[in-house]
Amino acid sequence: MASIFRSSRVSGRLALLAAVIGGMSGCSTLRMDPQHIMDPVWPVEGGDTFRSNAVPDQVDPPLQQRWRFNAQAGFGPVSPLVLGDAILVATRKGEVHAVDLESGKRFGRDEFGDAIEGTPAYADGVLVVPVAWGGRAVRASDLLTGDRLWRTGDIPVSSGLTVWGDFVLAGDVEGYVRAWRLEDGEEAWSVQLDERAGIYSTPVLIGDTLVVASDRGRVAALDPSDGSLFWSADAGAPVQVSLAATEDMVFVATTRGSLRALDTRSGGLRWAYDVTNGEEGEYVADQGGLAMRRGSFAPPQKYLSAPAAGARDLVFGASDGIVRSLDIEDGSLNWEANASAAVSAPPVITAETVYVGTMGGLLMGFDRHDGSLIWNTELDGRIKSAFALKESLLIVLAEPRYVYAYEPDPGDDETEGE
């Protein structure tokens, strides 16, 4: 669903931009040169509406640090956005920083007043930001002029946003899925999945199907044009991390150590994988969907990261510090690797390497084929936010406040961070 309004916005106003280029450091209005945003590379969390966190590019370790930027605040599970030659980083201080991709220098900043937990979305010159607190939960700004376009919603949004045609889609903490018009923020429709549920998981968009999950484990496929229900399924446990998808399957990771692959068209279960708690005995799914160890009444408390979905493999981390790769077609285990600390951020899959960040502050590269550890480095804080990539440049957020850019080391002396 495209619109004439959206397709002509950027090209129709280039003459207005000369006065807003440069001089942005310390400014609280974010205005950007069109060359920074005309070729968006990572415009949404996960890189695409499938939230695949996978690229075909060769990003071979060892990596070296190109630069480090101080964002002066911590991060939620948000992903940076890469728009051409600029990186946009949202913080829990309610700020969005624009950072030059080459130098790591900030050239713009905007203040949204309240913590940003979900990943913003970009579409045709417009940045839409979800806010976790306060009276206006979704806010839109024109990146070409710096103008505030609209504010809407009164229920906090902690999940990432999705753009479909002329609409911005999101789930809120009271379990509603809502659609706002990108042009003016007017609400087009809303649907409540469950009266006692919140939505903290970023949805996926597969063609003209929006799939959303709640923290009570309900997974629903909706028509993004009006919110009507295509199908509903039960994940069997709370879902609090972003979904991932291919054209055929939606992958749902839960807080109880289970990962389920659902059919995109019907919601039927294609396969399931349950993580054991390392004790003797096997976890199996009961009829209610909760994983239970034989001989025990206590479900495992294993939090899974959002998965990364490649063409042949699905990779995810967990609170037990183990990274797992599954065959994407049947859910069989390809390999396991010990990351030495909990993994809460989704991995990112490149041509030959899987990159993982840990709550212990390690950035690690595993061989995509067998899970062997190839490379690692220690950052100044824990890594719990999603990555972003542009070609061979890996963007990493690490608490308490740093943004890192890593690239393959050509063998020269390591570059120094700022």
Phi, psi of 221 (to 5 degrees): -105, 125
Residue 102 predicted with pLDDT over 80? yes
Range of the domain at 243: 46-81+150-408
- Residue 11: helix, strand or coil by DSSP? helix
Rounded to an integer, what distance in angstroms lies between the CA atom of residue 301 and that of residue 291? 10
Residue 253 covered by a domain: yes
Residue 366 belongs to domain with CATH number: 2.130.10.10
Residue 16 covered by a domain: no
Which pLDDT value is given to residue 285? 38
Residue 283 predicted with pLDDT over 50? no
Residue 29 covered by a domain: no
Write out pLDDT tens, residues 37-94.
778 899 999 999 999 999 999 999 999 999 999 999 999 999 999 998 999 999 999 9
Residue 363 covered by a domain: yes
Residue 186 covered by a domain: yes
Which pLDDT value is given to residue 362? 98
Tokens of 409: 């080391």
Tokens of 48: 């695409």
Q: Once rounded to an integer, what is the mean pLDDT over residues 151-168? A: 92
Q: Once rounded to an integer, what is the mean pLDDT over residues 326-341? A: 97
Burial classification of residue 288, based on how many CB atoms lie within 10 Å of its CB (0-12 exposed, 13-18 middle, 19 or more buried) = exposed
Residue 93 covered by a domain: no
**Tally of structural domains, the chain:** 1
Burial classification of residue 394, based on how many CB atoms lie within 10 Å of its CB (0-12 exposed, 13-18 middle, 19 or more buried) = buried
End-to-end CA distance of the chain: 44
SS (H, E, C) 224-293: CCCCCEEEEEECCCCCCCCCEECCCEEEEECCCCEEEEEECCCCCEEEEEECCCCCCCCEEECCCCCEEE
Which of 115, 398, 78 has its CA nearest to residue 242?
A: 78
Highest mean pLDDT among 10-19, 269-278, 300-309: 300-309
- pTM value surpassing 0.75: yes
Can you say whether the dihedral through the CA atoms of 131, 212, 285, 246 is positive or negative? negative
The mean-pLDDT minimum among 58-67, 190-199, 329-338, 369-378 falls in 190-199
Element (H, E) at 37: helix 34-37
Phi, psi of 181 (to 5 degrees): -70, 130
Locate all alpha helices (DSSP H) within 77-196, ordered by sequence: none
Residue 209 predicted with pLDDT over 90? yes
Which pLDDT value is given to residue 153? 77
Residue 276 covered by a domain: yes
Residue 416 covered by a domain: no
Q: How many CB atoms lie within 10 A of CB 216?
A: 18
Which pLDDT value is given to residue 135? 64
